[in-house]
């Protein structure tokens, strides 16, 4: 399973309103529940916030990778948000976050979950990729750059 297969273009969102970590996670939870009938927005939000309470998913360099298990998730689901304004995400480096890669996995998806998180971290740890994503001016351009980065990471 690769990131590319679980991240369709319609789940790569450009210029998402930020405000706060909570608002970003609420926005994604509502968005994903509207597009995935088996998911409930409140449950998705509750699980993402629950994971944040264990420790921030802000990995530094303006990137966060919120993730959670969900019993109503049939297979892994990914989403990517480029925020129009950076938000405080309690990141490990203290920097605000403007690139958010969300991952939802089935309750029992241990190995898949870890492999997908490793793929996301690999893509988002690349400074050139982050720079390109931040320079994008449209949803289409954001999608192209992100998918190119995912493919490069997969080939590495």
CA 122 to CA 101: how far, in whole Å?
12
Residues in the chain: 156
From the list 67, 72, 140, 145, the catalytic residue is: 67
CA 67 to CA 109: how far, in whole Å?
12
Residue 72 is a catalytic residue: no
Contacts of residue 144, defined as CB under 8 A and 6 or more positions apart, other chains included, come to: none
CA 65 to CA 52: how far, in whole Å?
10
Active-site residue numbers?
A: 67
């Amino acid at each position: 399973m690769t990131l590319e297969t679980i991240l369709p273009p319609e789940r790569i969102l450009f210029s998402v309103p930020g405000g706060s970590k909570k608002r970003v996670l609420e926005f994604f939870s509502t968005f994903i529940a509207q597009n995935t009938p088996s998911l409930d927005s409140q449950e998705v939000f509750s699980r993402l916030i629950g994971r944040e309470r264990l420790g921030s998913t802000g990995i530094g360099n303006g990137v966060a990778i919120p993730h959670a298990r969900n019993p109503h998730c049939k297979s892994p689901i990914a989403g990517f948000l480029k925020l129009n304004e950076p938000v405080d995400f309690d990141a490990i480096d203290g920097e605000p976050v403007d690139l958010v890669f969300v991952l939802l996995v089935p309750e029992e998806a241990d190995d898949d979950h870890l492999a997908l998180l490793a793929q996301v971290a690999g893509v988002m740890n690349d400074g050139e990729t982050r720079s390109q994503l931040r320079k994008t001016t449209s949803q289409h351009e954001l999608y192209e750059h992100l998918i190119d980065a995912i493919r490069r990471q997969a080939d590495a």
